[in-house]
């Protein structure tokens, strides 16, 4: 399977990748609940990350030769693309630091979290990535209407994820004893780690949502075309990056290690 320029096969590829990701996520979940095998979870997460980075974030485009001189839109898009990827690399260091913190403070234990809800928000984020991919593909073929519809679905799902984590999950976790009382995450490393990791991720989801709104609004004004839609591509890649981070954060918080109940 290679990257393709034909619209219907590009959409088909998006569906296929989505199916792979779904199967892997379900596999991940069942591996975690049936037997405790962190190494398998790591392998699954790496495979998922590679699929997202290659097919949804199309990292291979960094290698494309940009025709035209330095002032052409194509050449500048290549420059922008490199800048965006370096930014994501830089941002990845924050999340890597948070993972290191989680492993250092909690080791091979995990907090008592609502598994159903965790799986549900993960699924919602995965779905949103799927629709984002469809939206970008539509724009790349000049279909502004299709782009706007898909990005709207992505936005709603992203908002659902954000509210699910911040409004519901944080409250349930608090009731499980991750914090002493809501609004005061004062006790224990589990609360500190959980709220810091999900909070930092939620902040990125929020900025991603703003970004999605901006490109949706610009598409409404007819700013983008099949040839010139760097803003759309950037928003899509950023949105998939948010998903990419969650591919690692979800198992790190919900799946690995032995469950510890707090009193």
Q: Which residues bind another protein (CB under 8 A)?
A: 68-71, 75, 78-79, 82-83, 86-87, 89-91, 93-94, 97-98, 100-101, 104-105, 184-193, 195-196, 214, 217-218, 221, 223, 231
Residue 1's contacts (CB-CB under 8 Å, 6 or more residues apart) are: 13, 16
Q: How far is the CB of 83 from another protein (least distance, A)?
A: 5
HSE, side-chain direction, 13 A CA sphere, residue 252: 25
3-state SS assignment for residue 184? strand
Which structure tokens are listed for 180? 């002493």
Specify the residue, 102 or 134, whose C-beta has the smaller distance to another protein.
102
Q: How far is the CB of 95 from another protein (least distance, A)?
A: 9
Partner residues linked to 173 by β-bridges: none
Q: How far is the CB of 61 from another protein (least distance, A)?
A: 14
Which structure tokens are listed for 63? 């290698």
Residue pair 186/179 in contact (Cβ under 8 Å)? The answer is yes
Q: How far is the CB of 5 from another protein (least distance, A)?
A: 24
Q: How far is the CB of 44 from another protein (least distance, A)?
A: 26
CA angle at 226 for the pair 225 and 232, rounded to the nearest 5°: 70
Specify the residue, 121 or 235, whose C-beta has the smaller distance to another protein.
235
Alpha helix segments (H runs only) across the chain: 7-34, 38-51, 73-106, 115-140, 144-163, 170-175, 188-220, 230-250
Q: How far is the CB of 246 from another protein (least distance, A)?
A: 18
Q: How far is the CB of 221 from another protein (least distance, A)?
A: 5
Specify the residue, 54 or 213, whose C-beta has the smaller distance to another protein.
213
Specify the residue, 60 or 86, whose C-beta has the smaller distance to another protein.
86
Specify the residue, 177 or 189, whose C-beta has the smaller distance to another protein.
189
Specify the residue, 28 or 169, whose C-beta has the smaller distance to another protein.
169
Specify the residue, 5 or 221, whose C-beta has the smaller distance to another protein.
221
Spatial CA neighbour of 115 closest among 180, 166, 176, 157: 176
Residue pair 260/109 in contact (Cβ under 8 Å)? The answer is yes
- Sequence length of the chain is 263
3-state SS assignment for residue 113? coil
């Amino acid at each position: 399977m290679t990257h393709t320029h034909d619209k219907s096969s590009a959409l088909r590829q998006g569906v296929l990748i989505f199916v792979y990701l779904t199967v892997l996520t379900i596999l991940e979940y069942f591996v975690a609940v049936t037997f405790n095998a962190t190494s398998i979870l790591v392998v699954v997460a790496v495979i998922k990350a590679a699929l997202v980075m290659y097919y949804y974030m199309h990292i291979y485009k960094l290698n494309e030769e940009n025709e035209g001189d330095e002032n052409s839109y194509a050449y500048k898009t290549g420059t922008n693309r490199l800048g965006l990827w370096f930014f994501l690399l830089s941002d990845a260091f924050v999340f890597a630091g948070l993972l290191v913190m989680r492993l250092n403070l909690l080791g091979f234990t995990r907090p008592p979290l609502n598994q159903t809800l965790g799986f549900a928000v993960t699924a919602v984020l995965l779905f949103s990535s799927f629709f984002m991919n469809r939206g970008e593909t539509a724009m790349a073929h000049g279909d502004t209407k299709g782009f706007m519809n898909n990005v709207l679905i992505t936005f709603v799902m992203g908002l659902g994820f954000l509210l699910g984590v911040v409004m519901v999950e944080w409250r349930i976790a608090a009731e499980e004893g991750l914090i002493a009382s809501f609004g005061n995450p004062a006790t224990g490393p589990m609360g500190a780690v959980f709220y810091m990791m999900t909070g930092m991720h939620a902040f990125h989801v929020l900025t991603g949502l703003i970004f999605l709104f901006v490109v949706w609004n610009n598409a409404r004004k007819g700013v983008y075309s099949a040839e010139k839609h760097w803003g759309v591509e950037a928003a899509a890649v950023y949105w998939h990056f948010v998903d990419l981070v969650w591919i690692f954060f979800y198992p790190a918080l919900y799946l690995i290690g032995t469950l510890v109940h707090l009193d």
